Amino acid sequence: MPPPTVEPEEKRLVVSCDGSARVKRGGGAYSAIVWQLPQWKVVFAASEYMAELTVNEAEYRGMMLCLDLVAPLDRGRLVICGDSNLVIRQMRGEIECKVPGLKLLRPKAMEKLRSWPDREFLHMKRD
Protein backbone atom coordinates (compact mmCIF):
# COMPACT_ATOMS: atom_id res chain seq x y z
CA MET A 1 0.00 0.00 0.00
CA PRO A 2 1.54 3.35 -1.00
CA PRO A 3 1.93 5.98 1.71
CA PRO A 4 -0.58 8.85 1.78
CA THR A 5 0.37 11.95 -0.18
CA VAL A 6 -0.43 15.59 0.49
CA GLU A 7 -0.79 18.32 -2.11
CA PRO A 8 1.15 21.53 -1.27
CA GLU A 9 -1.85 23.54 -0.04
CA GLU A 10 -4.05 20.67 1.09
CA LYS A 11 -5.38 20.82 4.63
CA ARG A 12 -5.22 17.51 6.41
CA LEU A 13 -4.97 16.20 9.94
CA VAL A 14 -2.20 13.77 10.78
CA VAL A 15 -2.24 11.96 14.10
CA SER A 16 0.55 9.93 15.61
CA CYS A 17 0.04 7.44 18.40
CA ASP A 18 2.38 5.31 20.44
CA GLY A 19 2.27 3.06 23.46
CA SER A 20 4.72 1.24 25.68
CA ALA A 21 4.51 -1.06 28.66
CA ARG A 22 6.78 -2.85 31.07
CA VAL A 23 5.43 -6.05 32.52
CA LYS A 24 7.68 -5.95 35.60
CA ARG A 25 6.61 -2.40 36.43
CA GLY A 26 2.94 -3.22 36.00
CA GLY A 27 1.80 -0.45 33.69
CA GLY A 28 1.97 1.30 30.39
CA ALA A 29 1.95 4.75 28.88
CA TYR A 30 0.50 5.97 25.62
CA SER A 31 0.53 9.24 23.75
CA ALA A 32 -1.06 11.10 20.87
CA ILE A 33 -0.12 14.10 18.76
CA VAL A 34 -2.40 15.87 16.27
CA TRP A 35 -0.87 17.99 13.47
CA GLN A 36 -2.56 20.25 10.93
CA LEU A 37 -0.94 20.15 7.50
CA PRO A 38 0.50 21.75 5.44
CA GLN A 39 2.13 23.80 8.26
CA TRP A 40 2.71 20.80 10.57
CA LYS A 41 1.16 22.86 13.35
CA VAL A 42 0.66 20.90 16.58
CA VAL A 43 -3.05 21.13 17.37
CA PHE A 44 -3.17 18.82 20.39
CA ALA A 45 -0.80 16.53 22.28
CA ALA A 46 -1.53 14.30 25.25
CA SER A 47 -0.25 11.28 27.13
CA GLU A 48 -1.66 9.01 29.80
CA TYR A 49 -0.63 6.12 32.03
CA MET A 50 -2.60 3.06 33.10
CA ALA A 51 -1.71 0.17 35.34
CA GLU A 52 -1.63 -3.37 34.00
CA LEU A 53 -1.42 -2.72 30.26
CA THR A 54 0.30 -4.85 27.66
CA VAL A 55 2.26 -3.06 24.96
CA ASN A 56 -0.43 -3.75 22.34
CA GLU A 57 -3.17 -2.51 24.66
CA ALA A 58 -1.10 0.66 25.18
CA GLU A 59 -0.80 1.04 21.39
CA TYR A 60 -4.60 0.76 21.00
CA ARG A 61 -5.14 3.22 23.85
CA GLY A 62 -2.79 5.66 22.11
CA MET A 63 -4.86 5.39 18.95
CA MET A 64 -8.08 5.94 20.89
CA LEU A 65 -6.51 8.98 22.58
CA CYS A 66 -5.73 10.38 19.11
CA LEU A 67 -9.34 9.86 18.07
CA ASP A 68 -10.58 11.55 21.25
CA LEU A 69 -8.35 14.56 20.52
CA VAL A 70 -9.65 14.98 16.95
CA ALA A 71 -13.31 14.36 17.89
CA PRO A 72 -14.26 18.08 18.11
CA LEU A 73 -12.47 19.00 14.85
CA ASP A 74 -13.94 19.37 11.36
CA ARG A 75 -14.10 16.13 9.42
CA GLY A 76 -11.65 16.01 6.53
CA ARG A 77 -8.82 13.73 5.54
CA LEU A 78 -7.26 11.99 8.52
CA VAL A 79 -3.99 10.07 8.45
CA ILE A 80 -3.35 7.86 11.47
CA CYS A 81 0.32 6.95 12.00
CA GLY A 82 1.59 4.36 14.42
CA ASP A 83 4.57 2.09 14.89
CA SER A 84 2.57 -0.99 15.85
CA ASN A 85 2.25 -3.10 12.71
CA LEU A 86 -0.24 -5.34 14.53
CA VAL A 87 -2.59 -2.51 15.55
CA ILE A 88 -2.41 -0.72 12.17
CA ARG A 89 -3.12 -3.93 10.25
CA GLN A 90 -5.96 -4.90 12.59
CA MET A 91 -7.53 -1.45 12.18
CA ARG A 92 -7.24 -1.78 8.39
CA GLY A 93 -8.98 -5.15 8.64
CA GLU A 94 -5.98 -6.99 7.17
CA ILE A 95 -5.49 -9.36 10.09
CA GLU A 96 -7.80 -10.83 12.68
CA CYS A 97 -7.88 -9.60 16.25
CA LYS A 98 -7.52 -12.70 18.45
CA VAL A 99 -6.22 -11.52 21.85
CA PRO A 100 -9.09 -11.06 24.35
CA GLY A 101 -7.92 -7.65 25.62
CA LEU A 102 -7.53 -6.35 22.07
CA LYS A 103 -10.90 -7.78 21.05
CA LEU A 104 -12.41 -5.34 23.56
CA LEU A 105 -10.34 -2.33 22.44
CA ARG A 106 -10.59 -2.66 18.64
CA PRO A 107 -14.40 -2.17 18.46
CA LYS A 108 -14.09 0.90 20.70
CA ALA A 109 -11.44 2.36 18.38
CA MET A 110 -13.54 1.52 15.30
CA GLU A 111 -16.56 3.25 16.82
CA LYS A 112 -14.52 6.42 17.45
CA LEU A 113 -13.26 6.24 13.86
CA ARG A 114 -16.74 5.84 12.37
CA SER A 115 -17.27 9.60 11.96
CA TRP A 116 -14.08 9.93 9.86
CA PRO A 117 -15.01 8.50 6.43
CA ASP A 118 -11.83 9.79 4.72
CA ARG A 119 -9.11 8.12 6.75
CA GLU A 120 -5.87 6.30 6.13
CA PHE A 121 -3.56 4.25 8.33
CA LEU A 122 0.20 4.44 7.97
CA HIS A 123 2.59 2.06 9.68
CA MET A 124 5.75 3.92 10.69
CA LYS A 125 8.62 1.47 11.05
CA ARG A 126 10.76 1.81 14.15
CA ASP A 127 14.47 2.49 13.71
Domain containing 79: what range? 13-123
Total tally of structural domains belonging to the chain? 1
Q: Is residue 113 part of a domain?
A: yes
pTM: 0.90
Q: What pLDDT sits at residue 15?
A: 95
Q: What is the pLDDT of residues 32-85, one digit of tens each?
A: 999 998 889 999 999 999 998 999 999 999 999 999 999 999 998 999 999 999
Tell me, yes or no, whether 24 lies in a domain: yes
Q: What is the C-alpha separation between 15 and 92, in angstroms, rounded?
A: 16
Classify the C-alpha dihedral 56-31-93-109 as positive or negative. positive
CATH number, position 41: 3.30.420.10
* Beta carbons of 48 and 79 less than 8 angstroms apart: no
- Select from 33, 37, 20 the least CA-distant residue to 80: 33
